[in-house]
């Protein structure tokens, strides 16, 4: 394998190497392809790629660089980036991790893909996802199980687990993902990455999946990449029904902000009587101790009431299957068929009631930010990454009318609520167990406050230096 990147850089660093002509886009692409060939068989993160198409794109970028005015070039010019298999790219197949969908090329790209192209990235490859994406692991009957590069016996999380595994394994510096109940934050925690869930309406989409609770984003190595990519992807979009208010300054400005002392509410107990693993609590403690060293005020609390959240949230999630077209539902996995049956059993009046219930619940929930505290600190998950393949086995054996299982609940109990409130939240790689498994902590800010969230995340990154961890060896 090429020694071009013996230590995997961040996407921003790689973009600078390309911009300064120290490496060419074609060299970077070929190295990426070599890394995929060497590492993907063990983790099963990348499920489709077209190297010849990507090489043509790389040559176009090289020609562009010859004529380039560096100041005018996009932030991530030439950086390879894969797209999650739940998101459409014009001319590429998108099977949504399902045997029930053909691999015919799609006729239109999702808006986030168009924005990624404007950011300069070199689109290359598709990453694995669970069928249609409603579970927090990455395993399906079409492509199989994706594994965690830090421990191949474990899951990388989901539903953006293929993206996270591809970055953590060193195949890519950054990868596209989306988050409807923790699907960026959970894989970020499992794989030792930074995973930002943006505010509702921040990144334009052709439809508001899960009532706008499902949002687009990336899995990356540091807060700089998260902030710079958010600047590249954020709206507003005049054709979209709802947009988050634009920031007063670029999101990358957060990297040099010095947050005033904040009231941080620290959660160490889980709803529904679930226990929290000691390593997950250690991640919270490390984060709290570091925040306190910067002058922030830490106050123990419990996660605000989520008892009234779960049932209406599942109604919204199940009906999200309506967004997928040209599906032979008889060929889907058993848990997806149960989800669809549950969705079909919900009347239009009951669905609207669920949405209204979530809106009323959300108002009281979100009102605590700014009144009782400024930022919430929680574990990202209540458990360590479970065994790869275990969740799909649980769901396949289940007779329940949903995709829920105890493990699913344990993985998403701290993340899903914030998709419905629409608040920005981020998982940060603050801890590693003695056996080498990453463990994240989650920060949640007030509505639309990605700037403040990124500023605190940058403080933590400066103190804890997580990008310095070497790539896994396997």
Q: Catalytic residue numbers?
A: 84, 159, 183
Query: Residue 361 and residue 54: Cα distance in Å, rounded?
Result: 47
Query: Residue 26 and residue 79: Cα distance in Å, rounded?
Result: 10
Query: Residue 458 and residue 305: Cα distance in Å, rounded?
Result: 29
Query: Residue 426 and residue 14: Cα distance in Å, rounded?
Result: 23
Tokens of 86: 């739940």
Bridge-based pairing of strands 425-432 and 46-48 is unpaired
Query: Residue 198 and residue 54: Cα distance in Å, rounded?
Result: 29
Query: Residue 297 and residue 444: Cα distance in Å, rounded?
Result: 15
Q: Are 127 and 84 in contact (CB under 8 A)?
A: yes
Order of strands across the sheet that contains 122-127: 46-48, 122-127, 80-84
Q: Are 127 and 412 in contact (CB under 8 A)?
A: no
Q: How many CB atoms lie within 10 A of CB 261?
A: 12
Place of tokens 């101790």: 289
Output the CA torsion 119→133→205→420 (10° steps).
-120
Peptide linkage before 236 cis (omega within 30 of 0): yes
Q: Would you give the DSSP letter of residue 250? A: -
Nearest in space to 217 (alpha carbons), one of 95, 116, 97: 116
Query: Residue 452 and residue 260: Cα distance in Å, rounded?
Result: 10
DSSP string, 123-175: EEEEE---TTS-SSS-EETTTEE--BTTBTTB---SSTHHHHHHHHTTS-SEE
Nearest in space to 158 (alpha carbons), one of 182, 176, 174, 193: 182
Bridge-based pairing of strands 425-432 and 215-220 is unpaired
């Amino acid at each position: 394998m090429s020694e071009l990147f013996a230590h995997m850089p961040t996407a921003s660093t790689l973009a600078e190497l390309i911009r300064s002509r120290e490496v060419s886009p074609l060299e970077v692409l070929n190295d990426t392809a070599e890394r995929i060939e060497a590492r993907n068989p063990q983790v099963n993160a990348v499920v489709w790629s077209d190297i010849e198409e990507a090489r043509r794109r790389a040559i176009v970028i090289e020609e562009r660089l010859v004529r380039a005015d560096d100041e005018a070039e996009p932030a991530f010019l030439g950086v390879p980036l894969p797209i999650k298999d739940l998101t459409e790219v014009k001319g590429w197949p998108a099977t949504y991790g399902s045997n029930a969908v053909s691999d015919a090329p799609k006729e239109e790209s999702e808006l986030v893909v168009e924005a990624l192209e404007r950011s300069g990235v070199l689109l290359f490859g598709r990453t694995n996802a669970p069928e249609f994406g409603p579970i927090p692991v990455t395993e399906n009957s079409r492509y199989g199980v994706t594994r965690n590069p830090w421990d191949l016996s474990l899951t990388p999380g989901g539903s953006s687990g293929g993206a996270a595994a591809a970055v953590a394994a060193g195949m890519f510096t950054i990868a596209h993902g989306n988050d409807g109940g923790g699907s960026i934050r959970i894989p970020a925690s499992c794989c030792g990455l930074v995973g930002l869930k943006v505010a509702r309406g921040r990144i334009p989409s052709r439809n508001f999946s899960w009532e706008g609770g499902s949002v687009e984003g990336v899995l990356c190595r540091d807060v700089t990449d998260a902030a710079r990519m958010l600047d590249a992807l954020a709206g507003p979009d005049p054709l979209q029904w709802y947009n988050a208010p634009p920031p007063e300054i670029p999101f990358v400005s957060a990297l040099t902000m010095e947050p005033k002392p904040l009231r941080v509410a620290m959660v160490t107990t889980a709803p529904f009587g679930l226990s929290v693993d000691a390593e997950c609590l250690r991640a919270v403690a490390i984060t709290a101790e570091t925040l306190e060293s910067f002058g922030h005020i830490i106050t123990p609390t419990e996660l605000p009431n989520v008892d009234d959240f779960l049932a209406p949230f599942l109604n919204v999630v199940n009906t999200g299957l309506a967004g997928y077209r040209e599906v032979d539902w008889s060929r889907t996995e058993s848990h997806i068929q149960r989800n669809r049956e549950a969705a079909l059993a919900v009347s239009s009046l009951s669905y609207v009631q669920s949405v209204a219930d979530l809106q009323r619940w959300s108002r009281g929930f979100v009102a605590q930010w700014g009144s009782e505290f400024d930022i919430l600190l929680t574990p990202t998950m209540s458990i360590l990454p479970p065994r790869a393949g275990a969740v799909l086995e649980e769901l396949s054996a289940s007779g329940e009318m949903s995709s829920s299982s105890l493990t699913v609940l344990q993985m998403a109990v701290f993340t899903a609520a914030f998709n419905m409130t629409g608040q920005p939240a981020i998982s940060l790689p603050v801890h590693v167990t003695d056996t080498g498994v990453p463990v994240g902590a989650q920060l949640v800010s007030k509505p639309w406050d990605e700037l403040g969230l990124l500023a605190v995340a940058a403080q933590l990154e400066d103190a804890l230096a997580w990008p310095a961890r070497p790539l896994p060896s396997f």
